[in-house]
Structure formats: structure tokens, C-alpha cells
């Protein structure tokens, strides 16, 4: 997670003190300023659109579950040619939160207990303090993880040139003739 002193361009603080049983729907449709800030933070050429559709629901006794999707259309620079490469992001968002003082979050850490982790299962719950969670920042984290770190324009390769065989230098030609190889 980001440090407390940073602020997500798509920040949306949800009050989780009294969540409805059916959950609190949150929709974040980024405006031009927010999209420009996202592009700057994630080293993108541009973010054409960004939308997070989330549902904040009660989980267990005093926990909170945030689920939904973040979708965006972005433009990155190709790592080979630096030409623009367009990409679509459609990423599932799912996270569990427990209050800092919750015993559930400490189980296993105290008294030498074991914690079983499932690589394919959900992440372990994060903790929060107070009555709010920044679900906008959470959605931005999933957005950031979905960005291709090495975008390439279709048909480009990392080879320095497109030639199948490099040309022989004058020195290599003389060497070949001296050695009697053709």
C-alpha cells in the first residue's frame, strides 16, 4: 500500500462504520485531471478512460470486503520503438480488511500458531484504523498491477536490427581470404 502521506488521484474514502447488509456500491469514473495524474504516476503516455465499479460489504464480524472491477484504456510507449501502444485493462478487485484491533488479524502470529497460505486463494486481510477505507486507492493498486511493464508494438522484437545476418566487415573479408575460406 502507499504511504499515508500520498494521495491517490482517484481517492474515494468509504465510511465503513455502518455498512448496509447489501453493501455500499462505489463507482469511480475518472475525469480528465484524474486520468492525467494516473498517467503521470504510472509512467503512461495517457489514460483515455478509467472506471472502477466496486461493492463495499460487511465481512465476518467487523471486517470489510471490497470487490468489483477496474477498467481502463491506456496508451504506453513501446519499449523497443517508443511508439504509442494502446492497451485495455479489465482487472478484478478483491480485498479483505480487518480493524487493527481485531483478534482475527492477529491469529496465528501470537502463540506460535501456523498460517496456511493458498497461492491461488485470496490475499490475507489488510488492517485499517478508524471508520474509513480509501477504496479508490485500492482500485488504483489493482490498476497499476495490471499494466504491462514491457509493452511492445505488435511485430517488433528486441533485436538491434531486422537484418538476418550482419554484413561482414572489410577486416573479416580479408581474414577469410587469407585463411583460404570462402
Are the C-beta atoms of residues 104 and 98 closer than 8 Å to each other? yes
DSSP label at residue 116: -
Rounded Cα distance, 138 and 83, in Å: 30
Convert the pLDDT of each residue in 110-146 to its tens digit.
444 555 555 665 567 888 888 899 999 999 999 999 9
Give the global pTM: 0.74
Convert the pLDDT of each residue in 81-94 to its tens digit.
999 999 999 999 99
Sign of CA dihedral 122, 125, 126, 129: positive
- The full set of domain ranges for the chain reads 13-156
Q: Nearest to residue 95, comparing CAs of 56, 151, 44, 60? A: 56
Rounded Cα distance, 66 and 93, in Å: 7
Are the C-beta atoms of residues 20 and 139 closer than 8 Å to each other? no
Are the C-beta atoms of residues 88 and 73 closer than 8 Å to each other? yes
Percent residues over pLDDT 90 in the chain: 55
Amino acid at each position: 500500500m502507499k504511504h499515508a502521506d500520498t494521495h491517490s488521484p482517484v481517492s474515494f474514502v468509504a465510511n465503513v462504520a455502518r455498512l448496509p447488509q447489501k453493501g455500499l456500491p462505489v463507482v469511480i469514473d475518472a475525469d480528465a485531471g484524474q486520468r492525467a495524474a494516473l498517467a503521470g504516476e504510472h509512467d503512461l503516455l495517457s489514460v483515455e478512460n478509467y472506471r472502477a465499479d466496486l461493492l463495499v460489504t460487511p465481512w465476518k464480524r467487523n471486517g470489510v470486503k471490497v470487490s468489483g472491477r477496474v477498467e481502463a484504456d491506456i496508451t504506453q510507449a513501446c519499449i523497443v520503438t517508443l511508439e504509442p501502444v494502446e492497451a485495455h485493462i479489465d482487472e478484478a478487485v478483491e480485498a479483505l480488511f480487518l480493524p487493527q484491533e481485531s483478534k482475527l488479524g492477529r491469529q496465528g502470529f501470537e502463540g506460535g500458531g501456523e498460517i496456511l497460505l493458498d497461492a491461488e486463494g485470496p490475499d490475507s486481510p489488510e488492517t485499517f484504523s478508524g471508520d474509513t477505507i480509501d477504496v479508490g486507492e485500492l482500485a488504483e493498486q489493482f490498476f497499476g498491477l495490471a499494466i504491462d511493464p514491457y509493452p511492445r508494438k505488435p511485430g517488433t522484437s528486441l533485436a538491434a536490427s531486422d537484418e538476418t545476418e550482419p554484413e561482414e566487415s572489410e577486416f573479416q573479408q580479408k581474414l577469410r581470404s587469407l585463411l583460404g575460406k570462402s
